[in-house]
Each structure stands twice: as structure tokens, then as C-alpha cells.
Amino acid sequence: MKRKAEKIIVLISVIIVVCLFAFFLKSILVPFIKCEINNDVEGARQLLRSKGALGFFAVSLVEALQMVVVFIPAEFIQISSGLSYPFPVALLLCDLGVCLGATIIFILVRTFKYSSSAYEKNKVKIDKLSSKQKSDKSVVLFLYFLFFMPLIPFGAICYYGSSTRLKYGKYILTVATGVIPSIVTSNLMGAAGKAFIKNSIPIPLLILIIVLLAAVLFAVIFVFLDRIYFKENEGTPDSVVYSAVKSVLNFLRKNKQKLTVDASLLKDAEVPYFMLVNHESFYDFYYVAMLDPDLRVNMVANEYYITRPVLKTLAGKIGVIPKKLFTKDLHTIGGILGNLKRGYPVVIFPEGRLSPDGRMNRIAEKSAGFYKRLGKDIVFVKISGAYLSKPKWRRRFYKSDINVSVTRVIKKDELSRYSEQELNRIIEDELYYEDSGSENTLYKQKDKAKGLENLIYRCPDCGALYTTYSNGCSFGCTSCGKIRTLNERYVFDDGSRISDLYGKITEDERKEAENVKISTNVRTKVFVKGKVKRRGKGFCSFDKNEFRFTSDDEEFTIKTENIPALAFSCNDEFELYHGEELYYFYPCENKRQTARWALLADIFAEARDE
């Protein structure tokens, strides 16, 4: 009987709405638009005056009934009223209609215990968001939050509000004020459409107005959510900014690659946990976030990047944990401990830097002892296919098939079974990858080798320094004349891959490392917490014993054994910390050598590990 009554109510409501829509279109809207197309302003005014209360009644009643039915969108009637009536009148009529519909719903729910099936379909979304409502005040804030949320109809929100213990007065006041931003935006869009019909504004300006109005609405929504409803979540992955950043990145990146995820093992991990991930590309943090729509994690990231002007604000809002690369950083440990205590998983990229050649970097900072002491589950995540989409040595991004998978979970109870050495080995084995070519993706671009000489700075065949070059898909050497060409699978015509060539020059450098000493004149930028403290010029030298920098103003030496690795950007700079200051060194001549400084640092570190 309840289902039958529900169907009858919905059927009657739909019939009434359709009839009112037909009346509104035939008797008011269409004639009004015709008057406007003919620039007959006086005729339009007479039409509205002749309809009088019927036009007003139609707007309010259609707005009310669409809420009761739930699935009929409100934007049509709101934009139409803005098109037909002065803005203040249109706003008042729509708001009255919303209040009327909200009152009908309140009576249906409180008196007749009625529940619309259309509401039930939206209830799942609402229930996921309703964990905060514990008092009348929090329910009111939650209703405002829902009114600001896209894709949840006003009617569904009112059905939810009526099902709470909120008194009618507070309920209807919340509804009347909560819908205003959306109604104002729709009415103004209608007003802009009216101006367009009258040829008062050109279509580009109309589009601009609509875009700006939508942007203003979202700005109002964002400020409310960030500063009021989710204020206590600021600085955590539950913040509004986290969701916004994730949504924006998803919009920007979803057509740039085919992303496949497998998070089936994630259900075995107890929150909070450590998530250890290999590091193939700049967008790895985004790929991790896409493992699960509901995943909220803190990430440990390079302090330099997240202290830049705009990124600093975003990182602070979402709780990114800063890390000084290849240094012992107590602030990072404190950030990790604080976020684990608050119940958030922490994502760490143990390599600490992007792969140069598509193979896993040496893990410079062994952290197994830290994980064992904290006693949290460890989740291993493997990213593959991302390296060639945007490697260090190329500026351009290529579309690629990318896979993200949870490969293993070590429960905290199992950690005691492993020594630190064994756990470090497991971490390296689980994260190891070789991804310098793809069997699934075809790269049809004509400049696949462009920039590769800035990484493969030495000829892998004759060993000559800085004689390599790229041209389109070809990679060659001016000294020995050897030329290789990349096919559509990023494999050279002789069967070798980029990682093979990088491995060859690594072996050549390793043979000479005992006696090599490199040096260069440099320009410097010195950063403190992301801001340039000073600029200058100087001279750098590096060998197996020490790194030395001298200039007119300063001089310092760092023992090579205290340099786990050198971060670098191809054909640009290499960098390291000295105390609390981050030095960026830009070679004054032959910028390709930056890759060599970094590679030698790895070779010196490997020799110490043996």
C-alpha cells in the first residue's frame, strides 16, 4: 500500500508539473521570448502585466513541486524566471517556491512518514557525508553544506532535513537561506540570457558572464565549506581543499592517460598505516590518490616544492608533510607521528626522487627501523607505465597506460619477524621496477628522443663525454658516429632500452670513480623555506672524499660520506642542503654535467654500502 500511495503521489505531482510547465511555456515564456527577439519591450511588459499573478504562481508552484518529486531539476524554472522577470522578483518567487516545497515535504515526512524513492537514491550520498551531525547546530550546518553541494537536488536535502529532529522554524529558515546562492546564480544566468535575446550583449560576453557567475557560486561554496563547515579539518586530508585539489587534478589528468587501479589488498590494512610507493613520475602522488575515491592520506613531499608561494598554501591546507631531501629532518618525523596519531595513513616515496632511467633509484635513506618502532601496517604500492609519460629529461607529456596496484600488506604483528636489514631488503624488492619501455602503449610521437642527451651525457659505445645528441626519435654520438632510433614501443632498433644505455655509462663511471674529480663554475640560489635568501657565483668540486663550494662570500666542505644522493634537474642544476639552507647550483658551462654529478654521488654512496 505504501509503494502504491507513493507512486500515486509522484504520478499526480508529475502531471501537475508537466501541465504547469506547458502553461508556463505556451502562455508566458514563448510569447515573452518572441517579444524580446522582435525587440518589443513594451509588448513584453504588457504580456507580464496581463498574466499577473498567474505567472508568479506558476514559477513558485513549479519550483515547489519539482522539490517534492525530487528528480526534476530546479535550474530550468530558476533560469526561466530570471529570463522573464526582474531579478528581485525572480529571486523572491523561486525562494517562495522552495519554501512551499520544503513545507510540503516536511508535512509528508513528519505526518505521513512518506519517503520518496527518488530521495532514497540520493540518500546514500547524504549518509556518507552526515557523520558530523550531532546537534541542531551541526544539522543546520550540514544542510547548508548539502545545499552547496552539486548534484544533490534540493528536494532530497529537504527530505533529509525533515527526517531529523530539527524544528520547523529552524528548518524552513535554513532552507530559505541555503538555496539563495544557487537561485541567485540561475536567475542571473536567466537575466543574462534576456539581455542576449535583446541583442544587448554579444554571445562571447554572455558565455563569460555565465562562467563568472558559476565561478562566483563555487567560490562562495568553497569559502563556506572551508571556513565554516569543515574548519576543524583544515590541514588534514579531510579538508575541502584536499577534495578540490583531487577533483581538479582528476579533471586535468583523466584524459591524459588510461589509469588502471587495483586496491583490492588495501582492505587488509589497518588505518593508520604507512604506504610505500615507487617514484616514476611527477604525478605519482595523484596516481596514489586515485587508488580509492574515499582514500584520505598524508604525503611526505620535497620541502622545496611545497614551500613555493601557491603550493605552500595548498600543502598547508591538505596536510602535506615537508621533507628536506637526503637529510635527517626531525620536523618530518614529527609530522608523520602527528598524522598517524590523528588516524591518517602516511604515503612515503622511499627513493626520494624521480627515476632517471625508468629503473628504481637506490634508496638512500633506510627507514625499516623507524617503521618497526612505530608498529603500523605497511602497504606497498607499485606504479608502472608512468616513467615514459614524463621522464626527467623530457619537457613534453605523452599519453600512456598507467597501472597502480597495492601489491602487498605487511601487518604490524608481522614486523617483529624481520630484522631491520631484512625489512629494508623487502622494501627494495617490493618496490623494484624497470619501466623504460612499454609492451602496452604505442608512442607515435616524432620527438621521442628529444632531451635524452641531457641524461645519457656520455656515449655508451665509445665513452666520450658530452658528445651525444638527439634528433627526433634518433639518439647518436658525434665522436663515434653510432646512431640508434626509438620505435613506437620506446625500444631502440638494436634492441636496447634507455635503462640499458644509462646502465652502460654507469658502469663506465664506476670504473673511473676512484680517481675522478669533477669541478665547475656555478651560479647559485640559496633557499630558506622556499624563499630565495641570496644569489651568487662560485666554484664547486666533488670527488670520493668531499664536496667543496667556494665563493667570494663563503666557503664550505661536506664529506662525501654525508651525501646520500644529489637531486638534480637535467640540463639545469644540482642541489643539496648545507645546514638549514638549500643550495641550487647552476653550472656556468655545459649544463649537461648536472646528470653526471648526481650519478657520481650514487656511485660513491654505493661503494660505501658494499
Burial grade of 430 (CB within 10 A; 0-12, 13-18, 19 or more)? middle
Instruction: Kindly report the number of other CB atoms within 10 A of residue 505's CB atom.
Output: 22
The mean pLDDT of 387-406, rounded to a whole number, is 90
User: With bands split at pLDDT 50, 70 and 90, how would you rate the model's confidence at 407?
Assistant: very high
pLDDT of 37 > 70? The answer is no
Model pTM score = 0.71
Please tell me which residue, 138 or 588, carries the higher pLDDT value. Answer: 588
Q: In this predicted structure, what is the pLDDT of residue 255?
A: 75
Distance CA 69, CA 509 (A): 74
User: With bands split at pLDDT 50, 70 and 90, how would you rate the model's confidence at 422?
Assistant: very high
The CA R_g of the chain, rounded to the nearest whole Å, is 31
Q: In this predicted structure, what is the pLDDT of residue 141?
A: 73
pLDDT of 413 > 80? The answer is yes
Instruction: Kindly report the number of other CB atoms within 10 A of residue 257's CB atom.
Output: 21
Which of 217-221, 387-391, 497-501 has the weakest average pLDDT? 217-221
Helices (H), 166-253: 168-178, 180-197, 203-224, 240-253
Q: Is the peptide bond before 350 cis (omega within 30 degrees of 0)?
A: no
Q: In this predicted structure, what is the pLDDT of residue 136?
A: 54
Distance CA 218, CA 129 (A): 19
pLDDT of 565 > 50? The answer is yes
User: With bands split at pLDDT 50, 70 and 90, how would you rate the model's confidence at 65?
Assistant: low
**Sheet of 483-485: strands edge to edge?**
468-471, 474-477, 483-485
Strands 400-410 and 468-471: unpaired
Q: In this predicted structure, what is the pLDDT of residue 70?
A: 53
Which of 155-164, 235-244, 293-302, 428-437 has the weakest average pLDDT? 235-244
Q: What is the pLDDT of residues 583-601, one digit of tens each?
A: 999 999 999 999 999 999 9
Q: In this predicted structure, what is the pLDDT of residue 344?
A: 92
- Amino acid residing at 385: G
Q: What is the pLDDT of residues 222-231, one digit of tens each?
A: 565 555 555 6
Q: What is the pLDDT of residues 282-295, one digit of tens each?
A: 889 999 989 987 78
Q: In this predicted structure, what is the pLDDT of residue 73?
A: 55
pLDDT of 212 > 80? The answer is no
Please tell me which residue, 564 or 47, carries the higher pLDDT value. Answer: 564
Dihedral angle, C-alpha 290, 293, 298, 299, nearest 10 °: 0
Class of the CATH-defined domain 518-609: mainly beta
- Each domain of the chain, given as residue ranges in start order, spans 2-222, 240-431, 452-512, 518-609
User: With bands split at pLDDT 50, 70 and 90, how would you rate the model's confidence at 493?
Assistant: very high
- Amino acid residing at 448: K
Helix, coil or strand: residue 232: helix
The mean pLDDT of 29-57, rounded to a whole number, is 55
What lies within 8 Å, CB to CB, of 585 at 6+ separation is 522, 523, 524, 540, 549, 573, 574, 575
Q: Are the C-beta atoms of residues 546 and 558 closer than 8 Å to each other?
A: yes
For CA atoms 225, 231, 232, 238, the dihedral sign is positive
End-to-end CA distance of the chain: 79
Please tell me which residue, 108 or 344, carries the higher pLDDT value. Answer: 344
**To the nearest whole percent, how much of the chain has pLDDT over 70?**
73
Please tell me which residue, 10 or 432, carries the higher pLDDT value. Answer: 432
**Sheet of 531-542: strands edge to edge?**
555-559, 546-550, 531-542, 518-528, 581-587, 573-578, 567-569
Looking at the DSSP bridge assignments, the partners of residue 536 are 524
Helices (H), 85-150: 87-112, 117-129, 136-148
Residue 352 DSSP label: -
Question: What are 425's three cell numbers?
Answer: 631488503
Please tell me which residue, 273 or 608, carries the higher pLDDT value. Answer: 273
Distance CA 109, CA 103 (A): 10
Q: In this predicted structure, what is the pLDDT of residue 134?
A: 46
Distance CA 215, CA 219 (A): 6
The mean pLDDT of 291-313, rounded to a whole number, is 85
When the pLDDT of each residue in the chain is averaged and rounded to a whole number, the result is 82
Residue 404 DSSP label: E
Distance CA 392, CA 390 (A): 7
Strands 468-471 and 378-384: unpaired
Distance CA 527, CA 546 (A): 22
pLDDT of 563 > 60? The answer is yes
User: With bands split at pLDDT 50, 70 and 90, how would you rate the model's confidence at 250?
Assistant: confident
Could you write out the DSSP letters of every residue in 589-606? Answer: S-GGGHHHHHHHHHHHHH
Distance CA 538, CA 522 (A): 5
Question: What are 126's three cell numbers?
Answer: 547524504
Which of 137-151, 518-532, 563-577, 590-604 has the weakest average pLDDT? 137-151
pLDDT of 36 > 50? The answer is no
